[in-house]
Structure 1
Amino acid sequence: MNLPRLLAFALAGIALASCAQTPPPPAAATEPESARLGRELRSLIGPAACSSDAQCRTVPVGAKACGGPAGYWAWSTKDTDGEALKALAAAQAAAHRREVEASGLRSNCAMTADPGAVCVAGHCQLATTPAAR
């Protein structure tokens, strides 16, 4: 067999082998469960529409390595099913806790205080200062 013909067969074999490889999984398949549940939680909360502070609440999200929530998100009782929200937030926190434990991550172990929530411009948001309450 001559060299050009051998080279052609080799290149054809390489081309065919590269076509037969399995593509990498989509990014969503490698996404942490807590991130997916966090997106579902954000979707459930929606715009957190409100007409008064009385409609605004907070829900703990995530988990710190030393215990307790990683933070809080504001939500509104006006258009959100509170029981479904609490169940989804608990599932998200549990998933995050498992991911933290599996990775061996550490945290600052500082307690994250619930900042409360207020109605600002028709949407619930976290109260950032005591004066905002």
Structure 2
Amino acid sequence: MSTPNTLLRLVGMTLLTLATAACNSAPKMEAKDSATLLKDIRAEIGDAACDAPQQCRSIAVGHKSCGGPEAYLAWSSKRSDEARLQGLIEQHAAARRAENLRSGMVSDCRLVTDPGASCQAGRCSLLPGGGAGAASAQ
């Protein structure tokens, strides 16, 4: 076997190994902060348009430092992808939990109850008298 051929084979195998390793490494996804995730949630909910009350639902958002949601948002099954919305909600709660731990934030520990949602004037909205509105969600 000649030395140039051996060298070329060695270089070729090394490049192939490096290329394979580069293709197998998963790209790192940057974690979004809670404010960005809340914007994504609101974008997924959109205008929460509805034709019937059965399309309207409420969903818990955020995470209080002592547990439980910070607020509820109304959304429509007519316009929103439930699986995508639930994924964003879970990411947002995890981000809020981490932010609370890092900052040492404490909350009032009041229970925020689910107010439910209704279709009013073609748009899903939270029912009055229950829980807290979306304004308090971080």
Same fold (TM over 0.5): yes
Query: Displacement, 1:129?
Result: 3.0
Measured in 2, the distance between the counterparts of 1:89 and 1:126 equals 17
Extract unaligned runs of 5+ from structure 2.
Answer: 1-31, 131-138
Q: CA deviation at 1:59?
A: 1.1
Between Structure 1 and Structure 2, how many residues are aligned? 99
Note the alpha carbon deviations across 1:43-100, whole angstroms, 9 max, x for none. 0000000011110001111110100110110000001110110011110111011101
- Partner residue, 2:19: none
Letter in 2 for 1:50: C
1:39 CA displacement: 0.2
Partner of residue 29, structure 1: none
* 2:120 aligned residue: 120
Deviations 1:96-117 (A, max 9, x none): 1110111111111111100000
Q: CA RMSD in A?
A: 1.2
SS in 2 for 1:128: coil
Whole-Å Cα distance in 1 between the matches of residues 52 and 129 of structure 2?
Answer: 18
Task: Quote the Cα distance in structure 2 between the aligned partners of 1:117 and 1:93.
Answer: 21
Residue in structure 1 matched with residue 46 of structure 2 by the alignment = 46
Match for residue 99 of structure 1? 99
Distance in 1 (CA, whole Å) between partners of 2:129 and 2:104 is 33
Q: Distance in 2 between matches of 1:126 and 1:52?
A: 14
**1:1-133 equivalences in 2 (<5 Å):** 33-129=33-129
Q: Distance in 1 between matches of 2:129 and 2:54?
A: 17
Task: Give 1:86's aligned amino acid.
Answer: Q
Q: Secondary structure at the match of 2:111?
A: coil
Q: TM-score, normalised by structure 1?
A: 0.72
TM-score scaled by structure 2? 0.69
